[in-house]
Amino acid sequence: MKKIIGLIAWLVVVCLCAQNEVNYNESKVPAYILPDLLEGNNGEKITSIEQWEKQRRPELLELFASQVYGQTPDAKIDVTYELLTEDPNVMDGKATGKQVKFTFSNGNKKIEAILLMYIPNKPTGKVPVFVGYNFKGNHSTTLDTTILYSPVFQLVKEPDHPDWERGIQSNRWCYDKIIDRGYAVATMCYHDIFPDKPELKDHSIISLFPGYPETIAPGEWQAIGAWAWGSSRIVDFLETQEKIDSDKIAIMGHSRQGKAALWAGARDERFRIVISNDSGCGGAALFRRKFGETIAVINKNFPHWFCENFRQYNDRDEMLPVDQHQLIALIAPRKVYVASAEEDLWADPRGEFLSAYHAGPVYRLYGLTAIDSDKIPQLHKPIMEDIGYHIRAGEHDVTEYDWECYLDFADKHFKN
């Protein structure tokens, strides 16, 4: 009897370990069938743009909201903007720098955030703009000592944390290059919208919405939904800016912000280009490949990112009614670009590529160009159709090479 109990206990341990083991072996990727992009929930084939826009697209948006990212409330939160600084002469005179305080309020409670913007001085007309969150504060994106610290930063980082240092992620924001190419750039610290710790939800914009915290329903939004909502509020502000061409707004998000950028781009059609940089699980990567990070692992490590319903798919990734090629397709006919890094296996570069590839049928429905081959391209050979993709050498990061590709892609679609 003892032996049998011992054997059962051993089997349970083996099974649990096997479940949590990360797969980096292509030959162990399970055979999978992706949910059909062009078949409605009622089994009907989608063959026209009209059917896609009226029937299938709303169905998919609803599935992603209820099962993955959570529902974004319809309630409107009051937002005011205050220009804190404006310097028409930054970067040796080639740009204007602005810092703008956003105050989100529900009448009882306020949350503040700071947007940092650089606008090129040379073009006389309106300019296109890249929007994107930074991870370590606006002060981390440049050495400029006039950049203000985010109000929330003291909540997320201890006073002696190295992230208080200026410019530590300036490599991810090649402002000079962006300005030289004639683009404006607008960035905000993502902690301002939802400080990235589960216990800090009370300091997030979610806490301003009616019903909080009583109504934490299984399909309710969490951090990724909040970050996506926040990037739309940045667009609201950009639309008030005379120098900004609001028909040419691109969003670029890295990693967890790549996930949020895709969700923002799927929901808000004002983003005309959506760029996912190394976004991985819950971003561009196909869940069903179970390569690198999986649903169970991401929900365990980041319980505050996705809605509670998403936990039903822990270790049952193939039961999720959607997969990420469908999220990318929701961006059509607007342009989308997915980027991977060769050594970033945790994010499953091949899975990121394949979802961009499998989004193709919706782009083709619009008569647009998609990715032709399911063979991942060579390093540094970007694909620049209406869907773009590249894989570069190196690790999980945003590099100058990534930005060069995004600027080329934006030139192709915004400047012709």
List residues binding ligand GTR (CB under 6 A). 255-256, 280-281, 293, 298
Cβ of residue 323: shortest distance to ligand GTR, in angstroms?
A: 16
| Identified catalytic residue from 140, 231, 255, 355 | 255
Locate all alpha helices (DSSP H) within 67-134, ordered by sequence: none
Cα–Cα nearest to 114, from 27, 190, 58, 185: 190
Q: Which is nearer to ligand GTR, 268 or 344 (CB)?
A: 344
- Alpha-carbon gap, residue 299 to 20, rounded angstroms: 12
Cα–Cα nearest to 187, from 116, 246, 290: 116
Place of tokens 């059609």: 269
Q: Which is nearer to ligand GTR, 67 or 255 (CB)?
A: 255
Structure tokens at 228: 């996506």
Q: Which is nearer to ligand GTR, 275 or 281 (CB)?
A: 281
Per the annotation, the verdict on 254 as an active-site residue is no
DSSP letter at 68? Answer: I
Place of tokens 């991401």: 298
For 210, phi then psi, to 5°, come to: -55, 140
Listed in order, strand segments (DSSP E) in 135-228 are 184-189
Cβ of residue 281: shortest distance to ligand GTR, in angstroms?
A: 5
Q: Which is nearer to ligand GTR, 196 or 318 (CB)?
A: 196
Provide the residue type at 203 as one letter. Answer: H
Place of tokens 């270790």: 315
Contact at 8 Å (CB) between 362 and 37? yes
Provide the residue type at 245 as one letter. Answer: D
Q: Are strands 78-90 and 273-277 parallel, antiparallel or unpaired?
A: unpaired
Cβ of residue 396: shortest distance to ligand GTR, in angstroms?
A: 7
Cβ of residue 194: shortest distance to ligand GTR, in angstroms?
A: 13
Q: Which is nearer to ligand GTR, 330 or 347 (CB)?
A: 347
- Alpha-carbon gap, residue 218 to 230, rounded angstroms: 21
Cβ of residue 233: shortest distance to ligand GTR, in angstroms?
A: 21
Angle (nearest 5°) at CA 291 between 190 and 348 = 50
Q: Which is nearer to ligand GTR, 243 or 289 (CB)?
A: 289
* Three-class secondary structure of residue 241 per DSSP: coil
Q: Are strands 387-392 and 335-341 parallel, antiparallel or unpaired?
A: parallel
Question: Residue with the closest Cβ to ligand GTR?
Answer: 255
DSSP letter at 338? Answer: E
Continuous segment of H or E residues that includes residue 195: none
Cβ of residue 163: shortest distance to ligand GTR, in angstroms?
A: 14
Per the annotation, the verdict on 380 as an active-site residue is no
Cβ of residue 295: shortest distance to ligand GTR, in angstroms?
A: 11
Q: Which is nearer to ligand GTR, 10 or 24 (CB)?
A: 24
CB within 8 A of 176, min separation 6: which ones?
91
* Residues carrying an active site annotation: 255, 396
